[in-house]
Homo-oligomer: A and B are copies of this chain.
Amino acid sequence: MRKYGVIGLGQVGATVAYTLVQQGTVDELVLIDKNEALATAQKLDLDDASARLSSTTKIILNDYSALADAEVLIVASGNIKAIDMTSSKGRFGEYDSNQAIVRDIAPKIVASGFKGILIDIMNPCDVMTDYLQRMTGFPRNRVFGTGTFLDTARMQKYVGQAVGTNGKNVAGYVYGEHGNSQFVAWSTVSVNGQSIHDFKDLDLKALEEDARQGAFAVMAGKHYTNFAIATCGVRLAEAVSADAQLTCPVSAYDPAFGTYVGMPAVIGKNGIEALIHLDLTADEREQLAASAQFIKSKVDVLPQPAPSK
């Protein structure tokens, strides 16, 4: 039996739930949100679809204890309205409110006896992933964030458009923060196996900025993003269930930096199975270190868990 949980049923969490129900990915789905009326509404809407779907999914509402035997828990909490797309604050608009959410839900997740893999989507993603790990005390491999998995997809899209091909033909990774300090590690990027540097007349700076600003381009029109990020969360959860050992750029704990930051990592039933250390350029290594340092600085100043006795 496949069983996942989702905490936070706004646009992102609800779309994750819908995708799982629509695909018949899971047999049981635990949906949790402080807004009881919202949670009930999402469950009703999903249940209403049941007679029109070939699969059946049991939805359990607002019951942390039901997470005890869940394989994957996706955290999609937050208040999208706090994100300020017009200022440099960006995703840190949710910094204050989401750190409080972490302190609220972490002990409940621990108390539930949850033994699976926690995938964080909550923003600022790397900071909150790190904070969730600290506050739950879960092994670091069992907690990771969607990080630059979506930014990388956006980079693939924009590079694909620039070169005139499908973004699926583009390989390579966006590293660093799922936020302003992210960067495209161009040394890793290739199109159909050819280094991006072989393609002339590409404005790499502009393409990098397109990927970085991708979320805000969407938010400019709909005030949130949900389809692509929910798809990313679901793909990562599926990789965990299948123990796929699939390499994806996610927010993973790197001991070299003492925090979570976006980089390629192998996803399997243990969450992060391994980090993939590619041969980055000196400049890329520097950018990554700077991005990680920024993330760490934002986590270190948060109220830390009481030392275990």
Contacts and interface: CB of A to CB of B under 8 A. Distances in A.
B1 A247 contact: no
A22 B166 contact: no
Interface size of A as a range? 35 or more
A77 interface: no
Interface of A (DSSP majority class): helix
Interface in A156-209: 156-157, 165-173, 188, 190, 192-194
A21 B226 CA distance: 14
Which among A19, A27, A42, A51 has the highest number of chain B CB atoms within 10 Å? A51
A249 to B, nearest CB: 10
B42 A221 contact: yes
16 contacts: A1-B71, A1-B269, A14-B227, A38-B221, A42-B221, A42-B227, A45-B222, A46-B227, A51-B157, A51-B167, A53-B231, A56-B246, A165-B245, A166-B244, A192-B278, A193-B264
Interface of A: 1-2, 14-15, 18-19, 21-24, 27, 35, 37-42, 44-58, 71, 149-150, 152-154, 156-157, 165-173, 188, 190, 192-194, 214, 217-222, 225-228, 231-232, 235, 238-239, 241-247, 264, 266, 269, 276, 278-279
